[in-house]
Amino acid sequence: MKQIFAIILVWCFQNHFSEAQIFTPNGVQIPAAAVTVYNNVSPNTNAELQATQNAIQNGVYGPSCVIIANYSRQYNCHGYAWHVSTGGNQIVILSAAGGVTPYVAGANPSYTQTNYNSAKGKVRVRYSGDHSAVTTYDGMFISKWGPGPMVKHNALDVPPGYGNPSTCWTCNYAPPLTSTYLDGKLISGSFQNTTWGSHNMQIFWGLDPDTGPVFTPTAGSTIINNQSSGTVNFTFNGPSNNGGLSIAFCGAPRHSFTFFKPSGAKMQIYPNPVQDEGIVTISSNGEENIQAVNSDNQTNKMVGLSLLDGSQRILQEFLPNTEPNLTTIRLKAGLKGTYFLKATFEDGSVQTKRVLVEE
């Protein structure tokens, strides 16, 4: 039995990664001296690690122990609990060399201390004997036993040298969003143009957070269905011409999206109709003008303006005035009949108004 304990508890300090660049979920670098490897030498040869794994499977450390991953020298208990389980690569992290400290302390820790709750999963647990584990939603723990296997077990069904559960920690980090889809289309940025009505959003993130995401509507949006898988169905229905969603991870808002209704711009044209002599003399020395007005607000100014004939062919194009609510244009001489002014606004919306030119 003592030989089995020695195999599980041994720490291999040789072969440190001198150029290690390992970071916590919040971007704090782990000391290079705290990242190492397990060598394929005694007491960690394949035969010895297999013997340890067999002993665990045979109930030597308690009847609750179930092996969920075979032995591996790629990572240890701290590497699994603090790094691998948040989406990181498999590494051996030495607590004695300060490898766990950046995760739980300092200016930007990725975890904060909490109380143990048997019904709450994904809480990191530090043992008194330099061991780390992650809780499950059924009251069990999962931990990597040194270079040995990964085991699901009751809190106290561990080698004696691991000690007892000491402190519990919950996540305090914002996983980066890798992609977001609105109604099945990939979008970028937090400000989107969309229509009033029902919509679906899917998000994909770069790390595995402990809880969430949780979606919360802001003014103008209503949540219909909020799935923990990262999918939300919502309606964008006013009362204003914008709405939004706030996305929280680990109980804190981390990302937000604001939606704008494309049809928010309103255009007025005057005088309309335009009398004969007024329109004929505009392009030469006349004084009459046609004015296109964006009467919505300052944030949705006009960015393009075209004059179209009845076949929707462009006859003239104009540069809107830098003043967002007023643009004055002059039509060329010789026009008569029905034409259309097509305005494009900053939010991507387009509106067309008929202009009647009379004799």
Task: Name the residue range of residue 61's domain.
Answer: 2-171
285 and 341 fall within a common domain = yes
Residue 145 has pLDDT above 90, yes or no: yes
Q: Say whether both 272 and 238 belong to one domain.
A: no
- What letters, b where the CB count within 10 A reaches 16 and e where it falls short, cover 169-181? bbbbbbbebeebe
**In a shared domain, residues 161 and 184:** no
Mean per-residue pLDDT for 197-208? 89
Better-scored residue on pLDDT, 70 or 317: 70
Structure tokens belonging to residue 317: 């194009």
In sequence order, what are the residues at sequence separation of 6 or more whose Cβ sits closer than 8 angstroms to the Cβ of residue 54? none
Final residue before a domain boundary, out of 144, 171, 198: 171
Residue 111 CB neighbours (<10 A)? 25
Q: Parallel, antiparallel, or unpaired for β 131-135 and 124-127?
A: antiparallel
pLDDT at 280: 30
Question: Is 118's pLDDT higher than 80?
Answer: yes
Q: Which two tokens stand for residue 144?
A: 């990597």
What does residue 299 show for φ and ψ, rounded to 5 degrees? Answer: -85, 0
The percent of residues above 70 in pLDDT, for the chain, comes to: 81
Over the stretch 204-228, which tens digit does the pLDDT of each residue have?
Answer: 998 888 888 889 998 888 999 988 7
- The span from the CA of 92 to the CA of 70, in Å, is 16
Give the tens place of pLDDT for each residue, 176-194. Answer: 889 999 999 999 888 888 8
Coil, strand or helix: which one is 8?
A: helix
What is the spatial distance between Cα 319 and Cα 158, in angstroms, rounded to a whole number? 75
**Single residue among 149, 171, 193 that ends a domain in this structure:** 171
Task: Please state whether the peptide bond connecting residue 273 to the residue before it is cis, i.e. omega within 30 degrees of 0.
Answer: yes
Q: 93 and 117: one domain?
A: yes
Helix or strand (DSSP H, E) at 100 = none
Whether residue 208 sits in one domain with residue 154 = no
Task: State CA 267 to chain mean position distance.
Answer: 37
Residue 33: what are its φ and ψ, rounded to 5°? -70, -15
Length of the chain measured in residues = 359
d(CA 138, CA 125) in angstroms, rounded, equals 15
Domain containing residue 218: CATH number: 2.60.40
Q: Are residues 253 and 275 in the same domain?
A: no
- What is the tally of structural domains in the chain? 3
The dihedral through the CA atoms of 266, 269, 270, 273 has a sign that is negative
Q: Rounded distance, CA 290 to CA 21, Å?
A: 64
User: Is 149 found in the same domain as 9?
Assistant: yes
Instruction: Examine the pLDDT at 168 and tell me if it is beyond 80.
Output: yes
Final residue of a structural domain among 125, 151, 171: 171
Same domain as 45, residue 139: yes
Verify that 254 and 313 share a domain, yes or no.
Answer: no
> Torsion angle of alpha carbons 320, 322, 327, 328, nearest 10°?
-90
Are β-strands 131-135 and 111-114 bridged in parallel, bridged antiparallel, or unpaired? unpaired
Residue 201 shares a structural domain with residue 127? no
Q: What is the CATH number of the domain that holds 309?
A: 2.60.40.10
Q: Are residue 147 and residue 113 in the same domain, yes or no?
A: yes
The pTM for the full model equals 0.66
Residue 184 dihedral angles phi and psi, to the nearest 5°: 85, 0
**Judgement on whether residues 57 and 147 belong to the same structural domain of the protein:** yes
